[in-house]
Chain A
């Protein structure tokens, strides 16, 4: 028999661990249609039954407020899994059963997995699973997902449930006031078969009383007349309850559900040996880790540690990656004749693929680090401690991770930073974070800043970097506030959050988590990145210089060669680079390279990118940018460090290494169009303008293309606005 098994439960109940234990490496991660909620699927085979296991998002309830809840509910209703395993944390039974009750009210075939019985036992909690099973009317199987204990028994129970007929929905009594209304509505619903093909009739009535937006909307679309009648009943009972009891129907429903649970547990299901206020290990750790004084200091150290771990240790594999691609470039360069094909393969394809894979070590390390903080439970504490600060800007305490990784400590990267926003469960706060993390000073902006600081503020390097870091934080937080007041406005998502007990992450869980995320990046972002990389190459290459111009440079080269002594020319031609050139040969080589650089500069200006850069010169002059700067900034869309090399080409300096740009710094300092004010304007622009396209693609993947495009338009407008203000104010003040 082949059937589908859904896995549902509270966050932190061990759902993912059980999923990994069941499916091993045979799993597949995708998305639920239209939302960025992971949909994990896998297989489990037993006694000739092939079970298709789907991991539902972790939820506390089945209301229609959060995306996760809607996704879980729609899956259960629309795809009707044959069995739903409800994983329940035994050490936290009462609250976990709240979701169980809702599964049972929905009338879906359920099997309860009582997880972490070892933790419960160590806390002095004994649970009579047989009794609980009898009271709930479904199998209850004690398991330890971490060690795999009880897995077989659980899956045997799943088989039994799969073979049994469909169960009747559970009926919880909601008290006299509501019951009258529920029963009246139930009769109406059942009589007219209103939505009953999808949901039990009593469940629909309860959802009407709970003001469930999704059901109200569906009802209205199905039969407006019945919907009117049901809504009228709801309004009447709601008004009555508010008048007499000063509360809401949904509150009474929640009270009765919890009442149902506690009366069930009081029938000797749970035996507690210890005092319930006893401090557990977790609470004792919290006495230190979220202590008013020690807490923030430890947090700072942990975050810096994470940062060091991600950006220091990923350097080694990143260097291997880079080495491989450099070697590949060299091989292709020597194998192919000079020309378009070589340029396309080396500058377009190899650099593009290298660009995609170059981020892999970083993403791998970042997800490993964050998974460790998340799985251990520390991330929730970070959010708890910092929420007060981020709340002011319409963000969430968890936003801090994304900012830090993106370059909150100068030198991060916005690509893993954008991906780190996944830990945020509040949709609006998440979008605001996603859109503002690219303002941080990532590692690729640093060489550009270093160049400009070296040219114009050579005596205050450290101070300048510090000021720039402060500006980026201030700018990002204020921009987030601005976004939360305009495009993503609205009340903040409730912070109501569980501080899960500290747990040692399992190595296997960490590995699966890290690998999954990284692979998703390569698969989803990779192809787009390669395509855009080729496009950018084309924009900076085509149209090519007309033949007359190329001829002009060829003639210049010919002239230089013909005036040189023949033996010098011969020496240069036969030189293998092993022996130092004689002075005259070196001079000849330098002269030829200078022509080469001038030609490259002219070609760049002639290309599409160059034409755009020159074309917008009349506008960009407001911010003090000339056409060369414009081209370089366009190039920066590929990757921010490209600004340095493009500036080098535009200033006809030939190849400029981003890490050692002394010649360019000297040139800029001497250039009449450049002065400290221009440098400020350019630096601010670079800090805030459109993120590099890899980041844009990640933003689009993590939200939607709408936000990807928005980030380019909004950031560039903001950056230009700031740069113009700085430049114009500076000019007015006489700088």
Chain B
């Protein structure tokens, strides 16, 4: 198990959110959409220019920009 940033995850890679180190509006929006510690996510895909990223979380698809995803640390296998 190791912790990496969403930016460094591969498409279709899965993981569990370890921490979200951001408060304020961005933090609130991220959490409102169900990205909280312990949530399982999967990288669904990336936009043609690699940014934003689409995540699968709690059965729906969520997009966020790479610089927004940088605040989220994910625990992955391997």
Of B38, B47, B58, B62, the contact of A94 (CB 8 Å cutoff): B58
Q: Compute how far the CA of A290 lies from the CA of B44 in the bound complex, rounded to whole angstroms.
A: 11
* Secondary structure of the B contact surface, majority rule: mixed
Interface members, chain A 270-308 (any B CB < 8 Å): 276-277, 283, 286, 290, 292-293, 295-296
Q: Check A384 for interface membership: any CB of B closer than 8 A.
A: yes
Given the known interface contacts A258-B34, A290-B45, the answer about A384 and B59 at a Cβ–Cβ threshold of 8 Å is: no
| A65 touching B28, Cβ below 8 Å | yes
Of B31, B49, B58, B62, the contact of A251 (CB 8 Å cutoff): B31
A 75-114 binary contact with B (CB < 8 Å = 1; else 0): 0000000000000000110110010000000000000000
Given the known interface contacts A65-B28, A65-B29, A495-B63, the answer about A251 and B42 at a Cβ–Cβ threshold of 8 Å is: no
Q: Compute how far the CA of A290 lies from the CA of B53 in the bound complex, rounded to whole angstroms.
A: 11
Q: Compute how far the CA of A388 lies from the CA of B46 in the bound complex, rounded to whole angstroms.
A: 11
CB distance from A385 to the nearest CB of B (A): 5
| B34 touching A391, Cβ below 8 Å | no
B 32-62 binary contact with A (CB < 8 Å = 1; else 0): 1110111100101111111110101011111
Interface members, chain A 418-457 (any B CB < 8 Å): none
Q: Which residues of A contact B49 (CB under 8 A)?
A: 388-389
Q: Which residues of A contact B44 (CB under 8 A)?
A: 283, 286
Q: Which residues of B contact A210 (CB under 8 A)?
A: 28
| B36 touching A254, Cβ below 8 Å | yes
Q: Check A519 for interface membership: any CB of B closer than 8 A.
A: no
Q: Check A599 for interface membership: any CB of B closer than 8 A.
A: no
Q: Compute how far the CA of A251 lies from the CA of B23 in the bound complex, rounded to whole angstroms.
A: 8
Q: Which residues of B contact A380 (CB under 8 A)?
A: 63
CB distance from A140 to the nearest CB of B (A): 19
Q: Compute how far the CA of A95 lies from the CA of B49 in the bound complex, rounded to whole angstroms.
A: 29
Q: Which residues of B contact A386 (CB under 8 A)?
A: 47
Of A91, A98, A246, A277, the contact of B34 (CB 8 Å cutoff): A98
| B25 touching A494, Cβ below 8 Å | yes
In the complex, the chain B residue whose C-beta lies closest to that of A299 is B48
Q: Which residues of B contact A251 (CB under 8 A)?
A: 20, 23, 27, 31, 36-37
Q: Which residues of B contact A516 (CB under 8 A)?
A: none
| B27 touching A250, Cβ below 8 Å | yes
| B63 touching A496, Cβ below 8 Å | yes
Q: Compute how far the CA of A311 lies from the CA of B21 in the bound complex, rounded to whole angstroms.
A: 48
Q: Which residues of B contact A95 (CB under 8 A)?
A: 33-34, 58, 60
Q: Check B30 for interface membership: any CB of A closer than 8 A.
A: yes
| A495 touching B52, Cβ below 8 Å | yes
Q: Compute how far the CA of A494 lies from the CA of B20 in the bound complex, rounded to whole angstroms.
A: 15
> Which residue numbers of B lie inside 8 Å of A, CB to CB?
14, 19-21, 23, 25-34, 36-39, 42, 44-52, 54, 56, 58-65, 68
Name 14 A/B residue pairs within 8 A (Cβ), A-sorted: A60-B32, A94-B59, A95-B33, A210-B28, A247-B19, A248-B27, A277-B42, A295-B48, A384-B54, A386-B47, A387-B52, A388-B48, A494-B26, A496-B33
Across the A-B interface, the 8 shortest Cβ-Cβ residue pairs: A254-B31, A388-B49, A61-B32, A499-B61, A95-B34, A60-B32, A496-B29, A248-B23
